[in-house]
Structure 1
């Protein structure tokens, strides 16, 4: 069962301030409308089927949204900034799922019945939290948001301008994912200032065992993961160069400091199985 390690008042106040800044910036610059902000008349029915397969995999991951939000909220409910961010995050992720499904339909890559089949098998398994306290989840989600942004960015680079509608969709989603990552980076900096040793130990655990969420629960998970790797959208080398290294640089953490960090007196709770 997930446990909650309460934040101190100063940390709570700092997270609330970060959420207000995040929300106000989103309202001014990032909000987009599915029907009017995508050039749907420019969907390309000849977009390669392997691109559609990857988009379908992204959709399937998004279908676990009830698990992502429902399991994380109880851990964060007493900290307003964390809880309000999760509610906003759930709203934005639901838009991502909707717009990707809409492209699959309007491009002719999938039918309504095929998407209904995906919706049925995708949620047979139940996703569990990969960490069992709020600091561990902050470490994990920061990494996951940057990795997710990387997936969308690289798929967009691979696609180019061959499908203007999908290109625009991937751009909109990438901007959202980058904003989520930026929020968690700022929260991580608060954690490092509050307890650098404990936060570094937790971050090391997350980085050493990181995996994208729910991919092992998807039907044909091995095939879907292989497709993403083969198309050079995401793999171990990209995780190191485009996720791990930028995170350490942004947080001002030297790799030697992370590698040599000894476990402190206060033991950290174990991670839950994926």
Structure 2
């Protein structure tokens, strides 16, 4: 069962894309404006030392992990470009727009870490090489599944940046402002992807069969890092962990797509609907037990 191809759907998605384009033009920004340039010093005259860190470990880890995830842009771009080839034209156009908007996030986060001496440039080079050489492989093989994935990933990123920005406020208000600004871009991307999924489900509720496998197997793209799980345990202290994913991402999208109210006609669609709702309750129970 492939992504629906009809004029009504294509027009709806084109309208969403044009709205995103217009919004993006009004939201244009340059990361240079958010950098604390006055803090920059030559590493030749003043070599890096960990004692120069001004942020707690969990905040540094959060920023660095976000930077590395954003850095994998070439792999995500290639995947989405290939996935949407021959699909709805607005989706192909959006990928190109998305690339131009995502590009500066990694640059902003890396520049901030180096300028403020909250990371060793040599160590950053090593982990950057690791994630780029490891790449990113996805088992997704259908355009709608990809959009379900990116909806979860983009909303997760929005929540991540907003929560980390709140935590960062007491250490560096400038960093908090930067993270909130990046979150605005991510929020715009999330809005597009989740509305595209919504449009598909409204036209054909049985397309829910493409939603369930993604939810069941979802992992953030930064998972290709060898120490990703360790990083996420550290980052929890800064405001993003399993609870935030379930309550602020997964449950939000399940409600947003009206999963409980859909009326699939096929046995496969009905089974997928039941599985999604059961999975949400199961993972909420597991998280509740882990907190005790």
Q: TM-score, normalised by structure 2?
A: 0.80
Describe the shift of the 1:262–1:209 C-alpha distance in structure 2 as closer, same or farther (beyond 3 A): farther
**Root-mean-square deviation over aligned CA pairs:** 2.8
Cα 1:257–1:83, aligned 2, differ >3 Å: closer, same or farther?
closer
Post-superposition offset of 1:165: 2.1
Q: Hey, what does 1:143 align to over in structure 2?
A: 152
- Please list the CA deviations of residues 110-153 of structure 1 after superposition, one character each: whole Å capped at 9, or x if unmatched: 24323222221222212112411111111111111111111111
d(CA) in 2 for partners of 1:81, 1:188: 13
Larger Rg: 2
Match of 2:249 in 1: 243
State the structure with bigger RCO (CA 8 A, min sep 6), 1 or 2. Answer: 1
Q: Does 1:9 align with 2:7?
A: yes
Task: State the distance in 2 between where 1:230 and 1:33 align.
Answer: 30
Secondary structure in 2 aligned to 1:36? helix
Cα contact 1:42–1:165 (8 A) shared by 2: no
Aligned length: 259
Following superposition, the deviation at residue 202 of structure 1 comes to 1.7
Stretch of structure 1 that moved more, 30-39 or 65-74: 30-39
C-alpha separation in 2, matches of 1:263 and 1:219: 36
How do 1:106-255 residues align onto structure 2 when only pairs under 5 Å count?
A: 106-198=115-207, 200-215=208-223, 217-235=224-242, 237-254=243-260
**Comparing both structures, which one devotes a greater share of its residues to helix?**
2
Whole-angstrom CA distance in 2 between matches of 1:230 and 1:260: 44
Structure-2 change in CA distance of 1:176 and 1:42 (3 Å): farther
Partner residue of 1:272? none
Q: 1:33 aligns with which of 25, 30, 33?
A: 30
TM-score normalised by length of structure 1: 0.84
Q: 5+ residue gaps in structure 2?
A: 41-51, 273-292
